[in-house]
Amino acid sequence: MPTKKKRPRRKSEKPPPQRRRGPAKPKRSGTRRAPVIRTGASLQYKVVELSTVDEGALERTLNEWTAKGWNLDGVQFAMRESSKRPAMAFIFFTREGAAAAPDEDAARAKLLRLSESGPTSAGNAWTPGEGSHPPFHPLSAHERLARLAGLDEPEPPEEGLTLEPEE
pLDDT tens across the length of the chain (167 residues): 667 777 776 666 777 777 777 666 666 555 566 656 655 568 888 999 999 999 999 999 999 999 999 999 999 999 988 888 899 999 999 998 876 677 788 888 888 888 776 555 455 455 556 555 655 556 677 777 777 777 666 566 667 666 777 76
3-state SS, 22-60, equals CCCCCCCCCCCCCCCCCCCCCEEEEEEEECCCCHHHHHH
- Of 103, 90, 96, nearest in space to 44 by CA: 96
Q: What is the pTM of this model?
A: 0.40
107 touches 131 (CB < 8 A): no
Q: Is 165 helix (H, G, I), strand (E, B) or coil?
A: coil
CA distance 131 to 109: 14
148 touches 120 (CB < 8 A): yes
- Residue 84: the pLDDT is 87
